[in-house]
């Protein structure tokens, strides 16, 4: 039998091998016609540097993000293409590992670093379709997620507000956590973050002049609002709450259904948050719920968006893995449903089945996390969370 340290080294080596294979696939995809998402980011950055319009049709994937991201990536555009891809890939991997470690160690302070490896290996294996989609396409989600987690680690400071502002200026959807920060920091963090978002969105004026303002206004109106009016079947996947409503309810304007679909998950997260007093362990669980509802509240659904659900899967899965809750019933069943429906969705080639399965998986994961938060208010108090010596805790 391998010793614990040898098993951990073996898992790290296996992870490195998988990462190497994924990078090779990413490199090949980047050299195809149209490239990958990073290709569009860098092409947009070169256009913004010249003062042009990055939203015009080009040879790569359409650029669908605020102008700030394109400006922020200008330095990467001066690096040789393959080296830029390698740097970006490594940055995404670092963001993934850092985020997972910080979430678990912050939620469960007594959990030692060595004990994390087996659980994280299983978590990443089950989440492989999500990680593959993000890494092979050079997607930005893992960096945005890391910025959101950084914002919580620095809550109450200007750094926390700035991290949240950068995440929101890149990809709008982190604005979903607004109620979380309002409850814990009043309006100070919110006002600082809002002012920072405005300033960040104004930075492209330096290279684009007044055109940056008009293009930003167009982006908000045409892309953000336009997504809420998207007809069913217009995207390969549509598993958000609004998408499910649009596909099942007739006779109601699409805009209203998608708006309702965005509101309900946020309302659920707010209700779960407002029921209990803010405290360290519960805060990380509640924050994970806010992040997990992003794919449900967003009008656009793609597999790589599920990266925002990884913290909820981590903190709830760890509660069962390490024995942080003795009352496993509801939490375990919901997490099992979430896992099975996610695997079914990943394997399905039928869009309707994939949409319904992804939606059920997210809903069950959010429910499992909320149920575990309730356990913290009962027999599993915060003072006990992470103080046991379960399997591998002191390994």
In a domain, residue 112? The reply is: yes
In a domain, residue 147? The reply is: yes
Of 233, 368, 240, the C-alpha closest to 303 is 240
Residue-level pLDDT at 115: 77
- Give the rounded distance of the alpha carbon of 363 from its chain centre: 15
Residue-level pLDDT at 322: 86
Per-residue H/E/C for 282-341:
HHHHHHHHHHHCHHHHCCCCCHHHHHHHHHHHHHHHHHHHCCCCCCCHHHHHHHHHHHHH
Distances (CA, A) of 67 to 157, 175, 201, 213, 300: 26, 17, 7, 10, 19
Q: Which two tokens stand for residue 200?
A: 């960040």
Residue 370 CB neighbour total at 10 angstroms: 24
Place of tokens 């959990």: 111
In a domain, residue 388? The reply is: no
Residue-level pLDDT at 114: 64
Q: Which residues contact 209 (CB under 8 A, 6 or more apart)?
A: 51
Do 371 and 331 contact (CB within 8 A), yes or no? yes
DSSP state of 209: T
pTM reported for the whole predicted model:
0.91
* Half-sphere exposure for 213 (CA within 13 Å, toward CB): 5
In a domain, residue 93? The reply is: yes
What is the span of the domain harbouring residue 233? 19-376
In a domain, residue 97? The reply is: yes
- The burial class, CB within 10 Å (0-12 / 13-18 / 19+), for 126 is middle
Sign of the C-alpha dihedral computed for residues 237, 240, 244 and 247 taken in this order? negative
What's the total number of domains in the chain? 1
Of 76, 86, 105, 79, the C-alpha closest to 30 is 86
In a domain, residue 4? The reply is: no
Write the pLDDT tens digit of every residue in 112-144.
Answer: 766 788 999 999 999 999 999 999 999 999 999
Sign of the C-alpha dihedral computed for residues 289, 290, 296 and 300 taken in this order? negative
In a domain, residue 395? The reply is: no
- The burial class, CB within 10 Å (0-12 / 13-18 / 19+), for 223 is middle
Residue-level pLDDT at 45: 94
Residue-level pLDDT at 72: 95
Residue-level pLDDT at 327: 65
Residue-level pLDDT at 281: 73
In the chain, which residues have pLDDT < 50? 1, 378-395
Residue-level pLDDT at 303: 93
Of 170, 188, 147, the C-alpha closest to 67 is 170
Alpha carbons 259 and 229: distance in angstroms, whole number: 9
Residue-level pLDDT at 380: 45
Q: At what angle do helices 81-107 and 113-126 cross, to 10 degrees?
A: 120
Residue-level pLDDT at 315: 94
Q: Which residues contact 316 (CB under 8 A, 6 or more apart)?
A: 285, 288, 331, 335, 365, 368, 369, 372
Q: H-helix or E-strand containing 183?
A: helix 178-202
In a domain, residue 392? The reply is: no
């Amino acid at each position: 039998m391998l010793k614990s340290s040898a098993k951990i080294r073996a898992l790290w080596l296996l992870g490195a091998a998988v990462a190497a294979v994924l990078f090779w696939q990413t490199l090949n995809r980047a050299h195809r016609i149209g490239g990958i998402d990073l290709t569009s980011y860098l092409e947009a950055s070169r256009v913004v540097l010249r003062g042009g319009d990055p939203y015009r049709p080009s040879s790569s994937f359409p650029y669908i993000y605020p102008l700030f991201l394109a400006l922020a990536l200008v330095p990467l555009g001066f690096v040789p293409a393959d080296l830029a891809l390698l740097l970006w890939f490594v940055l995404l991997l670092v963001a993934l590992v850092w985020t997972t470690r910080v979430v678990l160690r912050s939620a469960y302070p007594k959990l030692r670093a060595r004990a994390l490896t087996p659980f994280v290996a299983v978590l990443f294996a089950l989440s492989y379709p999500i990680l593959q989609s993000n890494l092979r396409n050079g997607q930005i989600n893992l960096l945005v997620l890391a910025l959101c987690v950084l914002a919580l680690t620095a809550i109450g400071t200007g750094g926390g507000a700035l991290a949240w502002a950068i995440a929101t200026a890149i990809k709008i959807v982190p604005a979903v956590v607004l109620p979380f920060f309002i409850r814990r920091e009043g309006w100070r963090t919110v006002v600082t973050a809002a002012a920072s978002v405005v300033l960040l969105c104004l930075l492209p004026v330096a290279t684009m002049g007044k055109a940056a303002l008009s293009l930003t206004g167009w982006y908000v109106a045409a892309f953000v609002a336009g997504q809420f009016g998207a007809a069913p079947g217009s995207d390969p996947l549509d598993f958000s709450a609004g998408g499910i409503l649009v596909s099942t309810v007739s006779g109601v304007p699409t805009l209203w259904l998608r708006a309702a679909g965005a509101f309900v998950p946020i309302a659920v997260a707010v209700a779960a948050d407002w029921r209990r007093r803010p405290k360290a362990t519960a805060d990380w669980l509640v924050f994970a719920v806010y992040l997990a509802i992003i794919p449900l509240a967003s009008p656009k659904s793609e597999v790589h968006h599920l990266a925002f659900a990884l913290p909820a899967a981590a903190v709830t899965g760890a509660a069962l893995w390490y024995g942080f809750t003795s009352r496993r019933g509801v939490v375990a069943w919901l997490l099992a449903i979430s896992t099975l429906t996610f695997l079914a969705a990943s394997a399905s080639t039928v869009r309707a089945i994939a949409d319904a399965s992804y939606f059920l998986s997210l809903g069950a994961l959010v429910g499992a996390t909320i149920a575990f938060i309730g356990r913290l208010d009962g027999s599993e108090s915060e003072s006990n969370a992470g103080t046991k010596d379960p399997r591998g805790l002191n390994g």
